[in-house]
Structure 1
Amino acid sequence: MRALFVVLKPLCFLALLGYCPSATIRPKEGWQVYSSAQDADGRCICTVVAPEQNLCSRDAKSRQLRQLLEKIQNMSQSIEVLNLRTQRDFQYVMKMESQMKGLRSKFRQIESNRRTLLTKNFQELKGKMNELQPLIPVLEQYKTDATLISQFKEEIRNLSHVLTAIQEEIGAYDYEELQQRVLGLEGRLRNCMNKLTCGKLMKITGPITVKTSGTRFGAWMTDPQASPKNKKVWYMDSYTNNKIVREYKSVSDFVAGVESRTYNLPFHWAGTNHVVYNGSLYYNKYQSNIIVRYSFESGRVMTQRALESAGFHNVYPYTWGGFSDIDLMADELGLWAIYATNQNAGNIVISQLDPLTIQVLNSWNTEYSKRNAGESFMICGTLYITNSHLTGAKVYYSYSTKTSTYEYMDIPIHNQYFHMSMLDYNARDRALYGWNNGHQVLFNVTLFHVIKTDDES
């Protein structure tokens, strides 16, 4: 396999935006950032940005067309009201017309026989005139309504011309074809991103404080194997003497404190280094080296197995203690356990686990003391270890399970609240989840990506 560094070009509806690491990417509404990359010297390479699937349905022309249609509909309703009113007035005018004809004949009778004009005739004539008096404002209103109707008709005629022009312009594009092109390009982008999934850690930025809650020690997490629509958050306060797991439907519910469900585990946990993976919680059973797999769906323990030779109950914890001997984590390649054994002189052992049976699939012995590690996390099969849980911590050491080699590093991590008791990587979010002295925080990671082609060297 030949490794090639990525050089990607802009595509229709998809874009790769060059940026500097210090810059903040703010894609336009309806677009989202898929990934970013730097080279080994920290120089920016690219940020992958793509639109949401329904972006085409929200363009300016469609909005304008919709607004015009709504306006025409409103005007049509107004014309209908005016039409009903003028029809009513027209009926009234027809009634008055017959009375006017009768008045005309009465005047002729008076004209032909002036001498026989009596007071009775005057009174009758006066009554007829009073009956016709309301006709005057009705006729005036009728004229006004007729003018309004004429104005409305003219405006609708103008709008119709604009609408027709827009329809002709939109009709020049086959939106179904464009939508299929968008879907195809998004598929190609995701295939590209699948190749970009793994990379070497180059930088950690943040943190973003999501919430402040609980004690100094705890864990919070999402499921990296869940579907994009599944945003559930799980929350486990303290490092021992607790069996309650709180579930939230989303990060916003988590921030608001709106629980959707609680789980009462059959055993207390030890430490804060739990992980949710493919719908199950994996944790270290208190006062043992037993790993428990608990299914949220069934609400019961599916598997439990001892991690052979692993130290427990503060024999080989991280620098902060807290029964953090066994650290369970997940990355792009699967489920892992980080611990130490007497056989490896208290140095860290990396074991990949079968998610169903919790059996050890493979193990690697490192030369880094577990007691000297602040926290650790896996990305793409490489273990990254911080040198402290306090202020000034940095990623100091990494071990690649692919090459069975280690490397000393110097990647700062901002310990904003001075005491880190949990730090785990989530491959779906490409972020580090942290519990920092009672604050639930997120760190962004920058990876150096390499794409491998299918060509053989």
Structure 2
Amino acid sequence: MLLILLLLQALSPAGAWIPSEDWESGNVTASVGEAGQCVCHVFLPDTEFPADRVQNMQQVSKDLILEVEIQIKKMVSYEGKLEVYLSELKDLTMRVAMLESNPDDYIKLDFELLRVELREFEALVSQLKDSLNSSSPMFDALYTEIRNMTLIVNQLETYDKSNLELIRIEFGKLQKKLEECQEDQDVIKPDIGNCNHTGIMSISKPTVVQLNAHLNAGFQYGGWGKDSKPIRGFESMYWYGAYSSPSVYDFYLYSDYKKLLLRSAFKIHDIPSGWEGTGNNYIVHGNAIYYQHNTPFGMTKLNLTSSKYDSRVIPEASNRFSYVYSPNQNLDFSADENGLWVMYASEESKGKLVLAKVDEKAFGIADQWKTGAYKQLAGNAFVACGVMYATRSVDLNTEEIYYSYDTRTKEEKQHSIHFQKFQEKYTNLHYNPSDQKLYMYNNGYYVSYNVKFNRS
């Protein structure tokens, strides 16, 4: 009888123990069967074991454990990021403290750079807060610290303006001495506007300025530089435009080089619907941006003062031929000492580059020359002193000028003028006659080169 009761106990719901008092209170009864065997009758609260509910509970438990592990890993990752941010904030705090203790030792650019870093740090903290989807005293303390430092920087900048002005003057003198020192080290000396030479002799090492104004390495298609024929008052202006695909949606204008570095644009041109462009071989010339327009396919001119748009179709130009590094590079604009140019390939030229002179007033094609350079084999092309130069890749880090066409003599030449690339691919390379530099947009970075001509 005891064995039977133990068996019944094992089969009870959830393994619950049947109290002994229930055995004697009618829940368990015994009788003798027809064959003389002992028969027990047990009345349990539930007639069936809830196996389906237990299975469901086990699955829910597994899911919860997995979610907890994921959240723990995220917290570990965020903890590492937070340590980095806190370290940067500590460094920034020390710099602000130095400014506060002796503000006369810093020029205006230092204050601007501090402001930029504070804004970037605030954005990082905000991003981390959104990722955690929560608020905490730590984040509130970080925001408070950033706001306090911003106020201190603003206050320090107004401190003793006369001393800051003297510092800027001394800093300017130091820069001038540095430039003279660089010239003594055989840095290329430009002779602006002089085309009394036999062509390009060499290209300097690249100057890598910084990542684009969007701070986004994914914005690989674009261009930057200066106005090749600036109007009065805008001689120091820089421009920039880029996107994640070979398209044209906006342009940023900066009053000078420092504003470019600080990503502080004085004007942004958002291209309106219907005027969007494609390709990335655009330039600024005579206070106007020239870029490629696809509907209809042709060249577009944007006046930077009036924001007026104008377009012209080039009947011979084909949208079937592009440079090797990027699609949709069908029209390539360039400017030199002689004016504005556009390069393209046509069906008639069988894919070879055609160099055309642009009549700036009429905004049409004034003259054109057929060259021997296949566009689809070239990395890019530009014009300097009436000569078109085509480039191609040598290896991952080296580009070369391999071909030239002189519009005055109609002479073609083969070259092997090597210059370094910051990264393998680039989407915009153009010459600027105002400073005799090449401007390259290299995989999202601003890069420039000095050009040395053979004047012997």
What TM-score comes out, normalization by structure 1 length? 0.55
Q: Any residues of structure 2 matched to 1:43-442 within 5 Å, and which?
A: 47=189, 194-195=193-194, 200-213=199-212, 214=216, 215-226=219-230, 227=232, 230-238=235-243, 239-266=245-272, 267-286=275-294, 288-301=296-309, 303-312=310-319, 315-388=320-393, 390-442=396-448
SS in 2 for 1:387: strand
Cα offset, 1:47, TM superposition: 5.0
Query: Could you list the per-position Cα deviations for residues 176-221 of structure 1 after superposition, in whole angstroms to 9, with x for gaps in the alignment?
Result: xxxxxxxxxxxxxxxx864456651000112101121241121112
Taking the aligned partners of 2:356 and 2:188, their CA distance within structure 1 comes to 34
What SS does the aligned partner of 1:273 have? Answer: strand
Structure 1 residues 320 and 449 mapped into 2: Cα distance closer, same or farther (>3 Å)? same
Superimposed CA distance per residue, residues 226-269 of structure 1 (whole angstroms, 9 cap, x where no aligned partner) = 15862111111125444211111111111111111111223111
> Is the Cα contact below 8 Å between 1:240 and 1:286 reproduced in 2?
no
* Structure-1 separation of matches of 2:208 and 2:386: 27
| Paired residue type of 1:208 | T
Q: 1:432 to 1:405 in 2, by over 3 A?
A: same
Kept in 2, the 8 Å contact 1:27–1:33? The answer is: no
**In structure 2, how many angstroms separate the alpha carbons of the residues matched to 1:346 and 1:35?**
42
Q: Is the 8 A contact 2:208 2:422 kept in 1?
A: no
Instruction: Give the partner amino acid of 2:207.
Output: I
The change in CA–CA distance for 1:276 and 1:201 in structure 2 (over 3 A counts) is same
The 1:241–1:382 alpha-carbon spacing in structure 2 relative to 1, beyond 3 Å, is closer
Moved more, 261-270 or 364-373: 261-270
RMSD between aligned alpha carbons? 2.8
Amino acid aligned to 2:326: G
User: Could you list the runs of 5+ residues in structure 2 that have no partner in the other structure?
Assistant: 1-173
Taking the aligned partners of 1:33 and 1:428, their CA distance within structure 2 comes to: 22
By how many angstroms is 1:370 displaced? 0.8
Cα 1:348/1:298, change in 2 over 3 Å: same
Contact kept in structure 2, 1:291 and 1:358, CA below 8 Å? no
For the 8 Å contact 2:192–2:433, the answer to whether it is kept is no
Find the residue that maps to 1:254 and give its secondary structure: helix
Q: Which has the larger radius of gyration?
A: 1
SS of 1:203 mapped into structure 2 = strand
Find the aligned partners of 1:397 and 1:322 in 2 and give their Cα distance. Answer: 22
CA distance in 2, matches of 1:412, 1:349: 24
**Partner AA of 2:223 in structure 1:** A
**Does structure 2 conserve the Cα–Cα contact (< 8 Å) formed by 1:417 and 1:439?**
no
2:318, 2:194 → 1: CA distance? 37
CA shift in 2, pair 1:46/1:432, >3 Å? closer
Deviations 1:412-451 (A, max 9, x none): 020121212111000001100001111111011111137x
Contact 1:375 1:388 in 2 (8 A): no
- How far the C-alpha of 1:388 sits from its partner, in A, is 2.9
TM-score, normalization by structure 2: 0.55
Q: Alignment identity in percent?
A: 24
Runs of 4+ in 1 over 6 A off after TM superposition: 30-36
Structure 2 CA distance for partners of 1:240 and 1:419, relative to 1, 3 Å: closer
1:29 aligns with 2:37: no
Query: In 2, distance between residues paired with 1:274 and 1:33?
Result: 35
Q: How far did residue 322 of structure 1 move?
A: 2.4
CA contact (8 A) 2:279 2:329 kept: yes
**CA–CA distance in 2 between the matches of 1:237 and 1:449?**
36
- The structure showing larger relative contact order (alpha-carbon pairs under 8 Å, at least 6 residues apart) is 1
* Change in CA separation of 1:28 and 1:257 when aligned onto 2, cut-off 3 Å: closer
